[in-house]
Amino acid sequence: MSQELLSAMRQSIMDGAPATSAELARQALGDGIMPLEAINSGYVPGMHAVGEQFAKGQMFLPDMLASAEAMRAAMAVLDPELKKLGSERPVAGTVVLGTTQGDIHEIGKSLVGTLLSAHGFRVYDLGVDVSGEKFAAKALEFGADIVGVSALLTTTMRNQKTVIEALEKSGLRAKVKVMVGGAPVTRRWAEEIGADGYAKDAMSAVELARNLMEQKRHLAPLGELR
């Protein structure tokens, strides 16, 4: 596979250019390139570069969302081909995501979902005003590795704890990691309610999700026993 094409794929993600990224994906398939190779060597490095530039303050939220959209457009072309070949892109983890009960704020949670998807997570976005019971039921239904609970208000932040309680009640707590976020949420609050992690922004949520998956892999036998 030509370095030139890989480099163009990476650049299309960095430019946040969905039409270009999709076209390059079609071109790669036409050239007989394996979809997984295009993903791992072309598009994924683009998302990594975007994350790095965002962390340095050289890229901004709208740029990052456009990059995620470019990633989605490329995957829309490549995914069906992967399926035809009987394979699929390795999933970084399964995340059930939502805004806590009583809270209708969407944007932060959606941003996290978009970035998680772009970084290879399978995301089930439950929307806003989601009860603890629904989080637990959907975590079970989708086999979630991680449950992400967002809250924008100090009043609704308390309901993050009810999600953890619901997961405990349904016997899922040992199997899923819980990450919390939102404007009023702090690391101390996350510890206080027994969450596994706190992310202060969307990009650090991706990093946190990766770390939680790593922990989960290492602690799986213990988790099963718990």
* Residue numbers 87-106 binding another protein by CB under 8 A: 106
Tell me: does residue 63 bind another protein (CB under 8 A): yes
Can you give the length of the chain in residues?
Answer: 226
CB 188 within 8 A of CB 135: no
In the complex, the smallest distance separating the C-beta of residue 115 from another protein, rounded to whole angstroms, is: 12
CB within 8 Å of 57: residues ≥ 6 apart: none
* Binding map of another protein across residues 40-59, x = CB under 8 A, - = no contact: --------------xxxx--
The DSSP letter of residue 158 is T
Q: Please, what is the Cα angle at 47 between 41 and 53, to 5 degrees? A: 125
Rounded Cα gap, residues 121 and 113, in angstroms: 9
The correct pick among 6, 10, 12, 16 for binding another protein (CB under 8 A) is: 16
The correct pick among 22, 96, 111, 206 for binding another protein (CB under 8 A) is: 111
Tell me: does residue 107 bind another protein (CB under 8 A): yes
In the complex, the smallest distance separating the C-beta of residue 146 from another protein, rounded to whole angstroms, is: 20
The correct pick among 3, 4, 30, 62 for binding another protein (CB under 8 A) is: 62
In the complex, the smallest distance separating the C-beta of residue 152 from another protein, rounded to whole angstroms, is: 13
In the complex, the smallest distance separating the C-beta of residue 62 from another protein, rounded to whole angstroms, is: 4
The correct pick among 5, 34, 49, 65 for binding another protein (CB under 8 A) is: 65
Tell me: does residue 23 bind another protein (CB under 8 A): no
Looking at beta carbons only, is 94 or 110 nearer to another protein? 110
- Considering CB under 8 A, how many residues would be counted as binding another protein? 20
CB within 8 Å of 67: residues ≥ 6 apart: 13, 14, 15, 16, 46, 47, 50, 59, 118
Helices (H), the chain: 3-15, 18-30, 35-38, 44-55, 61-84, 107-118, 132-142, 154-157, 159-169, 187-193, 202-225
Rounded Cα gap, residues 54 and 13, in angstroms: 13
* Residue numbers 153-212 binding another protein by CB under 8 A: 200-201, 203-204
Q: Comparing C-alpha atoms, which of 98, 94, 75 is closest to residue 140?
A: 94
- Site residues (vs another protein, CB under 8 A): 16, 54-57, 60-63, 65-66, 69, 106-107, 110-111, 200-201, 203-204
